[in-house]
Amino acid sequence: MNFKKYILPLAIAAVGLSSCDSMFREEPFDKLPGTVIWGDEHLLDEYVLPWYHEMDPGFYTFVTTIMKGLGSEYEPWYGDQLTVGRSDWYQGDYGNILKSSQQDITTRARTEWFKFYTQINSINTLLMNESQLAPSVRDRVVGEAHFFRAWYYYLMLRNFGGTMILTRTYDPLMEDTKFPRATYAEMVEFICNEAEEAAKLLPVSHTDANIGRPTKGVCYMLRAKTYFWAAGEHFQNQEKGWLGFPDDQSMQMLDLAAKEYDRVIATGQYSLIPINGTTRDEVVEEYRNIFLTKNSQESIWEVQHANDGNFSSANGHKLDRDASASSFGGTVAAYNPTQNHVDEYRMDNGMMITDKASGYDKKNPYEGRDWRFYANVLYDGAQWRGHTMDIHYTVVDGKEVAGEDLTKYGTSTSAAVTRTGYYMAKFLNERQVIDTDETYGSSQNCILWRFAELLLDYAEIDFKKGRIGDALDKVNQIRRRVKMPELKSVTWDDIVNERRVELAFEKTTYWDLLRWNIAEKRMTGSTNPLYGVKIVEQADGTRKITNPVVNGRNTVVRYFRPRQYYLPLDWDDVRYHGLEQNPEWVEM
């Protein structure tokens, strides 16, 4: 089986367990008995596929899924680097979550809760039958089971805080055991112990046929990311043990994270992809290719999407179509970079645009910027697929006429163009065919962790631990790669800025806002409205550039309330197990 090529929709029942509602909901058991599955190498592969398929939606972000609140949201949509183009999306679940709707967030949380515990139950079932597994793959499958049990509890920790730790299958109709909420410390310990058990069984690397499965390095990275998350400011000095630590454990957590990052590096499997070009255009092309190259030396863990883009029967996606401008047939405009994000790119001399000596020109705002800007963002005048992006208005007979890339494509009343004056370029394939075929889409993998992120995580640790020189070196490794001038010294703001630029639109940028305890400010419209750009070319050829609010005060309301650092636990399990609900959530 070519593991990385297809995710097969095969429903397999392992054992005849019964269950109640919520996380113990009954699954169909009319396919294959466990006695057949455990001893068959190929059936075992089919059995574990849902662990992979549900671990992260990757670029599979169908809007219909989002609007139904099924938990496949692309996290950066809720931060401040991206927004969406279609106004009707703001009237559904996506918009309601932006508005901090308790009902819609509770629906999303329940979906995630059920999804995570469904996979945990599947993993526990397999581990309870470990002795029956086919000997030829036993170590690898058991290693994967421990890894994914750690992975799903890591997702639980980030979303809910401490939850119930289940290490066996459980039938509440046959026993009346009640499970308590674990503390943050217990969750961190369990996740890291599980990842360590996995690392003992998994190889340093896989053959081509098994590319995409976890390795020792991925296990060490999971341990590192768990400690790194737990070091977050919001999770220190918490009164309730399942919301964080009773004291400040941040420095200890950072030390533990650093040791795990060292282990990842020591595997010798990961490094930055070098860029050989020296001109801006050469660097831009090579930098974009980093995100089009599957399972590269820089990638540590990524969602495997179908190589042929098959969307209906495999794990393809429609990222290029969803992000495409109208001139290429796009009707969704799902990924609009904000002016907030564009302003994060410094000048190509390393200075911030607010520095008077930087050379920044408000009349020519896209000249002389950090070269990653040109790789990540399509702006008015940018080149894409042999086309000059036309994202401005022209005054004709006293009226503003929208440019080609501001004009809706087709006759659909729901068709959209960018709300911000920008389109996303990062992750996209200029050679991708964009048509109306609903069977085939895009094929690029979604990278969840890469070596550049490891370096930036470690730079943050070094800085907080007082190792300023080490932090500077790691930041400059990344800057050198894209031929940007090295920093001579480094501040906290430098590290944050480098992270926001290098990891632009990647999922970690959303979680950083929670980890840094600044989500209320950055994801609330009254304190951080999202801006776009409007460029109007006058009859005399001059241009007027303004930055209207597109998602904030007087347009789409955005809120992030303190309670959203933790999603609400499923109310069925709160009642059944007698759990204390996360703060400020009430049953709807």
Q: What is the pLDDT of residue 61?
A: 60
Q: Which domain holds residue 221?
A: 22-60+76-276
What does the angle CA 58 – CA 59 – CA 60 come to, to the nearest 5 degrees?
90
In a domain, residue 588? The reply is no
Q: Give the integer Cα–Cα distance in Å for 289 and 320.
A: 14
Cα four-point dihedral sign 44, 46, 50, 51: positive
**CA 71/CA 56 separation, integer angstroms:** 10
Report if residue 496 sits inside a domain: no
Query: What would the pLDDT profile of 530-571 be if each residue is shown by its tens digit?
Result: 999 999 999 999 999 999 999 865 667 899 999 999 999 999
Confidence of residue 441 (pLDDT cuts 50, 70, 90): confident
**Which H or E run contains 82?**
strand 82-83
Percent of the chain with pLDDT over 70: 90
Give me the mean pLDDT over the 445-468 stretch: 98
Asked if residue 445 belongs to a domain, the reply is no
103-110 mean pLDDT: 94
In a domain, 309, yes or no: no
pLDDT, tens digit, for every residue of 269-326? Answer: 999 999 999 999 999 999 999 999 999 999 999 999 988 878 766 688 889 999 999 8
Q: Specify if 346 maps to a domain.
A: no
- The pLDDT, as a whole number, for residue 510 is 95
Angle at 126 between CA 124 and CA 129, to 5 degrees: 110
Statement: residue 465 has pLDDT above 50: yes
Distance CA 512, CA 160 (A): 16
Least confidently predicted of 61-75, 95-109, 304-318, 388-402: 61-75
pLDDT at 35: 75
Domains: count for the chain: 1
With 50 as the cut, is the pLDDT of residue 261 above it?
yes
**Three-state DSSP class for residue 51:** helix
Measured CA to CA in angstroms, residue 24 lies from 121, 158, 351, 439, 569 at distances of 8, 22, 55, 34, 14
> In the predicted model, what is the mean pLDDT of residues 66-70?
35
pLDDT tens profile 495-530: 999 999 999 999 999 999 999 999 999 999 999 999
Task: Give the model's pLDDT for residue 434.
Answer: 86
DSSP code at position 335: -
Residue 555 pLDDT: 67
pLDDT score of 438 = 73
* pLDDT tens per residue across span 338-355: 999 999 999 999 999 999
Is the pLDDT confidence value at 330 over 90?
no
In a domain, 441, yes or no: no
For the segment 569-583, the average pLDDT, to the nearest whole number, is 96
pLDDT at 205: 97
Q: Is it the case that residue 87 has pLDDT exceeding 90?
A: no
Would you call 529 helix, strand, or coil by DSSP? coil
* Average pLDDT value for residue range 170-185: 90
pLDDT at 174: 84
Neighbour count for residue 204 (Cβ, 10 Å): 11
Q: Select the more confidently predicted residue: 368 or 20.
A: 368
What does the mean pLDDT of the chain come to? 90
| Number of other residues whose CB lies within 10 A of the CB of residue 538 | 11
- pLDDT-derived band of residue 89, with 50, 70 and 90 as boundaries? confident
In three-state secondary structure terms, 402 is strand
Question: Model confidence at 21, in pLDDT bands (50, 70, 90)?
Answer: very low
Token couple for 389: 């992006």
pLDDT in tens, 214-248: 999 999 999 999 999 999 999 999 999 999 999 99
CATH number, residue 246: 1.25.40.390
Instruction: Say whether pLDDT at 92 is over 90.
Output: no
What's the one-letter identity of residue 431?
A: R
Using the Cα atoms of residue 304, residue 308, residue 310 and residue 313 in order, give the sign of their dihedral. negative
Rounded to 10 degrees, what is the CA torsion of 105, 111, 117, 123?
Answer: -130
Q: 36 lies in a domain?
A: yes
Domain assignment of residue 177, yes or no: yes
- CA-nearest of 504, 74, 440 to 290 is 504
Q: What pLDDT is stored for residue 524 in this prediction?
A: 94
Confidence band of 75 (pLDDT split at 50, 70, 90): confident
pLDDT-based confidence at 575, cuts 50/70/90?
Answer: very high
Tell me the pLDDT band of 15, cut-offs 50, 70 and 90: very low
Integer-rounded Cα radius of gyration of the chain: 24
C-alpha of 301 from chain center: 12
- The predicted pLDDT at position 420 comes to 97
